[in-house]
Structure 1
Amino acid sequence: MKMTFKKIAVIATVLSLTACATSPTGRKQVLLYSESQLAQMGDQAFAGMKEELTISNKPVQNSYVECVARSITAQVPASVFSGQWEVVVFDDEQVNAFALPGGKIGVYTGLLNVAKNQHQLAAVIGHEVGHVIAEHGNERMSQSTLINVGTQAVGQVLAANEVAQSGPIMAAIGLGMQVGVQLPFSRTHESEADVIGLDLMAKSGFNPKQSVELWQNMDKANSGKRPIELLSTHPAPQTRIKNLQAHMSSALAQYKAAPNRPNCTI
């Protein structure tokens, strides 16, 4: 059994050492999956959502979202995705949006009640595209793969040595991984996507100051329904606002230098 544990540890170490990368903000990452794998997964997930959810049939609404999304995606490096992004508006009350590897963007109509103008919608879409640029999906999947390998190794050691209460110990390890590793990792991703999205919207000609207004709106819309920040995958709105304000000077300079000023209306 010791050999099994060693083998698993070696596999995890080799994987992590051979898949090191750096995010757009300079943070070290472990990415185990290829771009083609992620794009294929994104295509499959998006196709499934289009079958399961109702797609908006309002031309003006769709054109508005498309206008904002096109302005944002024009700033995405070709190394991330060089094709035509597919943008779909889902007729759903969720206050949400998403972007997937392979050039897919989904926006729920509920978001349009909180993102009050093109600039605020650009902040959300920029944030979601920021996740794709920073390969956060790849990173989370890679992290889960390594955690599963490590957890299996611990479980095998406990079983081999007939450790009493091994079930509760494994449950505690799982909770520790979630609170100590996965949730902070998710909050890091959200903060990083906020910064990348801020730059994207500024370069696209959207007013970056409206990103702060957006999160103030989000805070009001979600008041009393949010878990404490420690146990949430997302930073609290006030934390996000402080992060955005810390990067606002650079974003405003990019906004002033942007050659275009989109005029997306609904």
Structure 2
Amino acid sequence: MRLVLLLSALLALAGCEKTPTGRTQLALVPDALMARLGADTFGEMRERQPVTQDASLNRQVQCVARAVVAAARRHYPGVAMPQDWEVVVFDDPSPNAFALPGGRIGVNAGLLGVAESPSQLAAVIGHEVAHVLADHGNERLTQQLGIKAVLLVVGLFSEGEVGQASLLQALGIGARLGIALPFSRTHEEEADLMGLEIMAEAGFDARQSVSLWRNMAKAGGEQSPEFLSTHPAHDSRIEALQGHLETARRLGRDAAPPACG
């Protein structure tokens, strides 16, 4: 009975937490554990996947990432975020990028074939940084672990049982139909709008976020129906971004475009 009351109290307190956009979230895994999982997972990925040796490509990605992270600090000054960020460009032809808790960003070289300008690249990196700022990985992992996450918080569950596979799954790999599906789309939509504001704050052209997703739509061909995807359909995503462009452009009105070209 005592444990039930304790868990209920923890859930009530956790339910009061808010993302940077004001959405209520449940994120129970300790931040230090999330950071360790992110570091371990990123380290393993670096061992398994080759890193690009293209110096020009590395310079551009590092430049855009620095500008985006600095803008995120300015735009969300009250939000805890990693002090140092590690950015790696993988020699992978697929147009993809990701971010892990603790400040790890991976960009596939193939993304630069779709993100045709620094502003389009900033739209992707801003989106990934937003996932970290909004603690989406913690929220997804909490949902997947369920009661185990609560027990972990109160020290009744072994941290060793929360592994890298759980983290990767929580970050979008192996998603299934059901309650987790719209929950994951909510994260994607929130990261889109947060990332849009961050890239604009950094001085990048917010309109290029729309161009990016049009390029993604062309590169991706036929997309699964929206209700079967953890990501919003391209048309829905573009419509939401267009509706937020004016707000984003006001944020970047006085910002000088970073020299990352």
CA contact (8 A) 2:82 2:102 kept: no
Q: CA deviation at 1:12?
A: 5.8
Q: Which residue of 2 aligns with 1:163?
A: none
Q: Which residue of 1 aligns with 2:208?
A: 210
Superposed, which structure 2 residues align to 1:179-194 within 5 Å? Answer: 179-194=177-192
Selected match of 1:76 from 72, 79, 90:
72
Q: Does 1:103 align with 2:99?
A: no
Question: In the aligned structure 2, how far is the partner of 1:133 from the partner of 1:35?
Answer: 12
- 1:247 alignment partner, SS class: helix
- 1:261 alignment partner, SS class: coil
- 1:89 alignment partner, SS class: strand
Q: What are structure 2's unaligned runs of at least 5 residues?
A: 150-174
Q: Which residue of 1 aligns with 2:139?
A: 139
Selected match of 1:44 from 40, 45, 48:
40
Q: Which residue of 2 aligns with 1:263?
A: 259
Query: TM-score normalised to the size of structure 2?
Result: 0.83
Question: In the aligned structure 2, how far is the partner of 1:124 from the partner of 1:7?
Answer: 46
User: Which amino acid in 2 is paired with 1:131?
Assistant: H
Q: CA deviation at 1:99?
A: 1.3
User: Which amino acid in 1 is paired with 2:35?
Assistant: A
Query: Number of residues paired by the alignment?
Result: 231
Q: Does 1:34 align with 2:30?
A: yes
Question: In the aligned structure 1, how far is the partner of 2:4 from the partner of 2:229?
Answer: 30
User: Which amino acid in 2 is paired with 1:199?
Assistant: E
Q: Does 1:233 align with 2:230?
A: yes
Q: Does 1:18 align with 2:9?
A: no
Q: Which residue of 1 aligns with 2:127?
A: 127
Q: CA deviation at 1:257?
A: 2.5
Question: In the aligned structure 1, how far is the partner of 2:47 from the partner of 2:113?
Answer: 24
Q: CA deviation at 1:8?
A: 8.9
Q: CA deviation at 1:147?
A: 7.0
Query: TM-score normalised to the size of structure 1?
Result: 0.81
Q: Which residue of 2 aligns with 1:65?
A: 61
- 1:28 alignment partner, SS class: coil
Query: CA offsets per residue over residues 146-170 of structure 1, 9 Å max, x none?
Result: 2779xxxxxxxxxxxxxxxxxxxxx
Q: CA deviation at 1:14?
A: 4.0
Could you tell me the percent identity over the aligned residues? 46
CA contact (8 A) 2:35 2:102 kept: yes
Q: CA deviation at 1:41?
A: 1.0
Q: Which residue of 1 aligns with 2:159?
A: none
Question: In the aligned structure 1, how far is the partner of 2:254 from the partner of 2:212?
Answer: 23
Question: In the aligned structure 1, how far is the partner of 2:28 from the partner of 2:84?
Answer: 26
Q: What are structure 1's unaligned runs of at least 5 residues?
A: 1-5, 150-176
- 2:102 alignment partner, SS class: coil
CA contact (8 A) 2:68 2:126 kept: yes
CA contact (8 A) 1:12 1:146 kept: no
Out of 33-42 and 14-23, give the one that drifted further. Answer: 14-23
- 2:25 alignment partner, SS class: strand
Query: CA offsets per residue over residues 92-131 of structure 1, 9 Å max, x none?
Result: 0121101112111110011110000100000000000000
Q: CA deviation at 1:16?
A: 2.1
CA contact (8 A) 2:182 2:230 kept: yes
Query: What's the C-alpha RMSD, in Å, of the aligned pairs?
Result: 2.1
Question: In the aligned structure 1, how far is the partner of 2:111 from the partner of 2:63?
Answer: 16
Query: CA offsets per residue over residues 203-224 of structure 1, 9 Å max, x none?
Result: 0000000000000000011112
Question: In the aligned structure 1, how far is the partner of 2:142 from the partner of 2:115?
Answer: 32
- 2:71 alignment partner, SS class: coil
- 1:235 alignment partner, SS class: coil
User: Which amino acid in 2 is paired with 1:194?
Assistant: D
Q: Which residue of 2 aligns with 1:249?
A: 246
